[in-house]
Structure 1
Amino acid sequence: MDLSQIEAFVQVAQQLSFSRAAQALQLTQPSVTARIQSLERELGEELFERGGRGVRLTDAGEAFLPHALKILQVVKEGRDAVEEVRSLGLGHLRLGSALTISTYVLPKILHAFRRRFPGINVSVRTGRSEQVLGMVLSDEVQAGLVRSLQHPEVETVPLYEDEIVLAVPRDHSFAQRGEARLEEVATQPLILFDRGSSYFGLIHSYFRQAGMVPHVAMELDSLEATKRMVEEGLGIAMVPRVTIERELELGVLVEVPIVDAAPLSRTIALIYRRNRRRPRPVLAFLEVLGEIYRFQPASA
């Protein structure tokens, strides 16, 4: 039994087609067929039923498939380990990140990471948290920074609480008073951003649980645009505090506490594949995150 047979078997099992498997492997169809037949002879069982309606796995094929997938995964991890040695520990961190995190949080993290591990190259892909989870599960990235998500195939490492605060223009009556009540906030023109994001639903739920319906004056698909609209006095907004730190320093926006409502936040976490050998760049990234957010990374 050799790796080429296993690769051919897995491709046919996933494609349910010898011709499509041959295309994926960049082989001729007779070559794929020969590899499958050789594997079947070695195992003493047919792995596929071939008929007029196409190809399907036999019971023996169904039983063999998870083991074949494990073999390919172990080989991939072995190759990755050798590549790390070949690169003299420089390595490459492939990271996924939710959009807001990548814009307002990740730059500071990567600044610390680059200072500590200057030889590790970094590439970042962005998307919504659910999209980043998909990238991790498909091995497009090695780890992801997302709002805390639970999935049986990933480890979740909580990092910090993403505090959602009320931001108003500096000349707003709430800013002059230094506080507001939720009922008052609900009557003000509220600017919401990114209907498809978790923030949108979180803010609506915040008011709904209090038995209130906010006065939504504007919806935007950009957080930066939302902040500019608030600066111009077109409304108020509830935004992650980390996204308005610069505006607070400049004095163009004011954070106003809502005195009669519980604080609103969500957990931001690092996710990576469970039960997998963690590449050295991921271990290095965890080490830096542990220093920033004061936790002890689990051993490899």
Structure 2
Amino acid sequence: MEFKALRAFAAVVRQGGFSQAAKHLFATQPTISKAVRQLEHELGITLLDRSGHKSRLTAAGEVVYHRALRILAERDDLLAELDEIRGLRQGSLQLGLPPIGSNILYAPVFARYRKRYPGIDVRLVEHGSDRLESLLLSGDIELGATLLPAPDTFDSQPVCCEPLVALLPADHPCAGRQSLDFTDLGDTPFILFEASFSLNRILLGAARRRNLKPVIAARSSQIDFITELVATGMGVSFLPRRIAQQRPHPKVAQVLLDEPDTQWDMAMIWRRDAFLSPAARAWLDIVREIYPPA
């Protein structure tokens, strides 16, 4: 059984089709189709039901897909261990960062890393924390940044812990206060980030603990757009303090959120018990230099 065939099959499932998988693997669609057919022939069973407009996993395909993810992740671990022999003069680092705060927290790390290890190719993907955790589990990235607490399947290294501030329309009754909690906001609607952002989970979890169910007025992945929605009076949103301070707006007030367990507790995470390549360990070392443990 060839790794190439397993990778092609896993890509078809993950990417949602043969053409998408071909683009993801920088191959032609016939090449991907041939690899999957060869895998089915070798195993003696159909993995994909191609009878409809979209290929679907058969029962056997489900089993092979989940096994393939583990096999490919183990292969990547093996190759990473071999890369250690070569040192840090060449290699790559698959890194996942969230859109929120990366310019503040990780741009200095990236700059120092690039200066110290110019031969390492940093392959960066940007998603919300929940999506990054999925990519870590599937082996598509080696390190990711997320909000704590992280699932038990990951090990972590702290980066920073920052309070949140509420972004309020300038004429909101709480706009002049030093701090507030959710009960002070009354029925003010929330403006949240897209569903894959862990910050939503933290905020909505805190609201549930107070038996509150806020109305969600809008969702977006763009901080500037969210700020403008707040300025129009649509609702309240929340940002880490140091990020909010970089985006002052004449029609938006920033008030400290005094709500338990809502800190922006950022960390680098990786699959527990996975081998970390020298490139990944070097990244963590620089993170520790810039953000030493308290």
Query: TM-score of the superposition, structure 1-length normalised?
Result: 0.64
Choose which of 287, 290, 295 in structure 1 pairs with 2:285.
Answer: 287
**Which residue does the alignment assign to 1:256?**
255
Q: Which amino acid aligns with 1:269?
A: A
Deviations 1:42-97 (A, max 9, x none): xxxxxx9x79xxxxxxxxxxxxx9xx989956752454345x45xx6143222012
**2:105 is equivalent to residue 105 of structure 1:** yes
Structure-2 residue corresponding to 1:239: 239
Write the distance in 2 (CA, Å) between the matches of 1:72 and 1:236: 47
* Alignment map for 1:1-300 (pairs within 5 Å): 7=2, 23-24=34-35, 72=75, 76-77=79-80, 79-81=82-84, 84-85=86-87, 89-102=89-102, 105-148=105-148, 149-152=150-153, 154-180=154-180, 182-214=182-214, 216=215, 218-224=217-223, 225-248=225-248, 253-258=252-257, 261-262=259-260, 264-295=262-293
User: Secondary structure, in 3 states, of the residue corresponding to 1:130?
Assistant: helix
State how far apart, in whole Å, the 2-side matches of 1:226 and 1:193 are. 8
Question: In structure 2, how many angstroms separate the alpha carbons of the residues matched to 1:205 and 1:70?
Answer: 32
| 8 Å Cα contact 1:186-1:212 kept in structure 2 | no
How far has the Cα of 1:23 moved from its partner? 4.5
Where structure 1 has 5 or more consecutive residues not aligned to the other structure, the ranges are 1-5, 34-47, 52-64
Q: 1:97 to 1:69 in 2, by over 3 A?
A: closer
TM-score by length of 2: 0.65
Distance 1:75 1:195 in 2: 34
Q: Cα offset for 1:26? A: 10
Q: 1:268 offset after TM fit, Å? A: 2.1
- Greater CA drift, 223-232 or 110-119: 110-119
- Residue 138 of structure 1 aligns to which amino acid in structure 2? S
Deviations 1:142-164 (A, max 9, x none): 21112232243x32223222533
SS for the counterpart of 1:264 is coil
Q: Offset at 1:269?
A: 1.9
- 1:287 partner letter: D
Shift of 1:258: 4.7
Kept in 1: contact 2:231–2:252 (CA 8 A):
yes
* Residues 193 and 200 in structure 1, CA contact (< 8 A), matched pair in contact too: yes
CA drift at 1:125: 0.9
Distance 1:193 1:136, change over 3 A: closer
TM-superposed CA distance for 1:279, in Å, is 1.7
Q: Counterparts of 2:115 and 2:72 in 1: how far apart (Å)?
A: 38
1:124 and 1:282 map into 2 onto residues whose CA distance is 13
Structure with more helix by fraction: 1
Task: Please report the RMSD computed on the Cα atoms of aligned residues, expressed in angstroms.
Answer: 4.4
Contact 1:99/1:126 (8 A) holds in 2:
yes
Report the residue type matching 1:150 in the other structure: P
Q: CA deviation at 1:112?
A: 3.5
Change (3 A) 1:233 1:104: farther
> After TM superposition, which residue ranges in structure 1, 4 or more long, deviate above 6 angstroms?
25-29, 68-71
The one-letter code of the counterpart of 1:144 is G
- How far is 1:122 from its partner? 1.7
Q: 1:189 to 1:155 in 2, by over 3 A?
A: closer
* Aligned mates of 1:27, 1:156 — CA distance in 2: 40
State the shift of 1:123 in Å: 1.8
Secondary structure at the aligned position of 1:267 is classed as strand
Matches of 2:277 and 2:195, distance apart in 1: 36
SS at match of 1:89: coil
3-state SS of 1:200 partner: helix
- How far apart are the structure 2 equivalents of 1:170 and 1:112? 39
- Count of paired positions: 251
Counting aligned pairs with the same residue, the percent is: 21
Contact (CA 8 Å) 2:176, 2:253: kept in 1 or not? Answer: no
